[in-house]
Amino acid sequence: DFDEAARERGRRSYKVAGNIPYNLSGTILVDLARWRMLSAAVLMVQKEVGDRILTEPGKRNCGILSIFLQTYFIIHRVLKVRPGSFTPPPKVESVVLGFVPHAPGRGPEDRGAFLQFLKGCFSHRRKKLRNILGELLDVETAKDWDRLGELSGVDFGMRPEELSLESWFDLFAASRRVKGLR
């Protein structure tokens, strides 16, 4: 727990830099958003993971990591790293990404619940939101659908990767008000 380690040392913030194990990238990157005292991070990841993270919400390759990390961070590509930069050279290309937290108050406060909501929605990414939310939130009645649509402003005929970041915030807030997550 980096936050706890920083508190024990009397620090109010810290920075993280590293070449994280590629097989643990998703887990480590999700943890970045849980560390509230983090002021910046510079991390090397596999190029394909970096490309996915940088995909704008609403685009086809957008996914859980894109939405979740862009909710809480300003992310930019620092540099590309070719396999020949290492000995022995790996079989994949890498990219170094910079992460700077957004100002507090951006995105849902309950980051764990928001992440679970995203996982539920993206677990059937080729389905339309109406089908996904019907199962995830147990939305059955026309009244509940109307209320969810009114509160979120989201078109339930869309697929998860088609939503903008703000639409995700609105849909998450509306889902908690209408039914609550299972």
**103: helix, coil or strand?**
coil
Least Cα distance to 96 among 19, 167, 29 occurs for 19
pLDDT over threshold 90, residue 60 = no
Return the sign of the alpha-carbon dihedral for residues 117, 118, 124, 128: positive
What average pLDDT score do residues 82-92 get? 91
pLDDT for position 179: 66
Half-sphere exposure of 13 (CA within 13 A, CB side): 7
Mean pLDDT of the chain: 91
Mean pLDDT computed over 36-49 = 96
